[in-house]
Chain A
Amino acid sequence: MSAILEVKNLTVRYERHVAVENVSFSIEEGDYAAIIGENGSGKSTLVKSLVGLIPPFAGEIVMHGMEKREIGYLPQSTIVQKDFPASVTEVVLTGCLGNERRIGPFYTKKQKKTAEENMELLGITPFAKKSFRALSGGQQQRVLLARALCATKKLLILDEPASVLDPVVTHDLYTVLHKLNRERGITVLMVSHDIHCALEQAKTILHMGRSLLFCGTADAYYDTELYHRMTGSCGEHFANHGHMGHAALEHHHAEHQNGDNQTERGESTCM
């Protein structure tokens, strides 16, 4: 396994406000990583910087074996999309725009085929002609996920994909992500505000608090102060899954806080 994404000493600023400070880590190919943290901890800013929407103030982001535009990105849903008249097929096809430069009002056969395959994969073919605005929240997320899959074969980056979904639909979405990760070998990096779901799903946890406060396996995270603080529990170990983290994580910033826990478990090597 080799790193697909490397972040070195990344600092991102909004105007004069530092949103992400000196963050370093790398994500291994095939990993399933979750970025957690409180509101305003820089999770979304970090992700926006990774996909190229906000330029880094300092540090660098290195992709291995792919370009930045080949990331399958699922942004937070916007107010514009609520009443947007577009068919499911039209939305999914926009995912193909990045991978084949073409001018004019028609898509190529290859692009149409990619879109059809991904719609089939996510079980949204029956809604292909339906209007995006008429779908339920869960169906809409599947459509946006299909669009993201048209843009990538390797790396999905999701920004709070479950924030608008009810628990049952959230579970469905996570099942789909798990399948994509395991069966298709797609690396998943997901921002989540739901710490329990994140720990249940992900192999690797990144805890943001402007800087990176923790990076390591989900198992290792259960033993940290951060975990107890976030959940308000008194140190019970809920770990019920034994998978090891695949990511080799570098972490320079907060070793004084939780350095012990990071290197003990899994393959994580936080420095």
Chain B
Amino acid sequence: MHVTELFAQLGVLFSYVFIKRALVVGILVSLCAALLGINLVLRRFSMIGDGLSHVGFGALALAAVLGFSPLAAAIPIVIFAAFFMLWLNEKGHMQGDAAIAILSSSALAIGVLITACSGGMNTDLNSYMFGSILAISREDMILSIAVSAVVLILYAVCYHPLFSITFDENFAAATGTKASLYNMILSLLTALTVVTGMRLMGTLLISPLIIFPALTAMRVCKSYRGVVICSMITSVVCFILGLILSFLFSLPTGATIVVVNLLCFGLFSLYGAIVK
């Protein structure tokens, strides 16, 4: 492919309204996911992000059957699930991780059953599972912008306490940081991010968007701030690259973005290993 041809193709790509929407929503979700991923990965909470997306699927299926707006219905259900999972995780003695796995797979199964009973797997549900850049309506975009703004602002406000409880929850709690409050904020923000990203990435592919950028940044960055900045940049770059590649080669968007993230992780790991 010639360079001029490539630019012409990109020109076409960005002239579509649905691509512009996908770009806006995708960049915002990538930023939110990258930030929250750092705290979730470092606190060994990665399971929660994954579990929430499965609950999100169940919620979307239920909303579709009952005729509610999908995102608006999913948000409260996923937030509730996030608090519940946090509570399960804190009760370490009753095998929190296993409980989260059961909860998330059950929600997925119930979602599939609801769909099957109400007339089979339609294309809409397929797009929920694997994401679709065509699925984002104007209302979805506006809701996504609002939710992302809330997540980004709250994260910035709570930046230091979130770092403190992530590094050492006991010390933070002993010196007056309300650890349980910030744990709840973290869960809330994760729930919001998962729901907003679900349409674009699909419920099955949203959790890599949360986990990959943090892991990638940690291969090379030495400071927490470095990890924060680096994971935001890699997240957005991988998203845009994945979106362009999926358009150029007619590939599924969500899956392409995840594979680009995987390649990026591989490159950073290699670099990290060489520099060490």
Q: A residues within 8 Å of B by Cβ?
A: 48, 51-53, 67-71, 73-75, 78, 80-81, 83-87, 90-91, 93-95, 97-98, 103-105, 107, 129-131, 134, 144, 147-148, 151
Contact = CB atoms under 8 A, between A and B. Distances in A.
B227 A97 contact: no
In the complex, the 7 A-B pairs of residues with the closest C-beta atoms, listed nearest first: A69-B176, A98-B175, A131-B222, A87-B223, A98-B176, A51-B174, A94-B164
Contact of B225 (A69, A83, A90, A91): A90
Contact of A86 (B44, B177, B224): B224
A84 B217 CA distance: 12
B161 interface: yes
B176 to A, nearest CB: 3
Contacts of A48: 170
Contact of B170 (A53, A90, A94, A95): A53
B171 A94 contact: yes
B87 interface: no
24 contacts: A48-B170, A52-B174, A53-B174, A69-B176, A70-B175, A80-B42, A80-B44, A80-B168, A85-B224, A85-B226, A86-B163, A86-B167, A87-B223, A87-B224, A87-B225, A91-B167, A93-B160, A97-B160, A97-B161, A105-B156, A107-B160, A147-B171, A148-B171, A151-B175
B137 to A, nearest CB: 34
A53 B163 contact: no
Contacts of A104: 156-157, 159
A80 B43 contact: yes
Contact of B177 (A67, A78, A97): A97
A63 to B, nearest CB: 13
Nearest to B276: A134
Contacts of B176: 67-69, 97-98
B172 interface: yes
B36 interface: no
B24 to A, nearest CB: 24
B259 interface: no
A90 B175 contact: no
A95 B171 CA distance: 8
A86 B43 CA distance: 14
Contacts of B173: 52-53
A90 B163 contact: yes
B171 to A, nearest CB: 6
A56 to B, nearest CB: 15
B163 A75 contact: no
A66 to B, nearest CB: 12
A103 B157 CA distance: 6
B161 A134 contact: no
A35 to B, nearest CB: 16
Contacts of B42: 80, 84
B211 interface: no
B218 interface: yes
Interface in B109-164: 156-157, 159-161, 163-164
B103 interface: no
A73 B223 contact: no
A183 to B, nearest CB: 23
B13 interface: no
B185 interface: no
Contact of B159 (A51, A70, A73, A105): A105
A105 B221 CA distance: 19
B160 A75 contact: no
Interface in B218-255: 218, 221-227
A140 to B, nearest CB: 12
Given A70-B175, A91-B167, A129-B222, 16 more contacts: A52-B173, A53-B173, A71-B175, A73-B175, A75-B168, A78-B168, A80-B168, A85-B217, A85-B224, A86-B163, A87-B223, A87-B225, A94-B163, A94-B167, A98-B177, A130-B222
A48 B157 CA distance: 29
Contacts of B164: 94, 97
Nearest to B225: A90
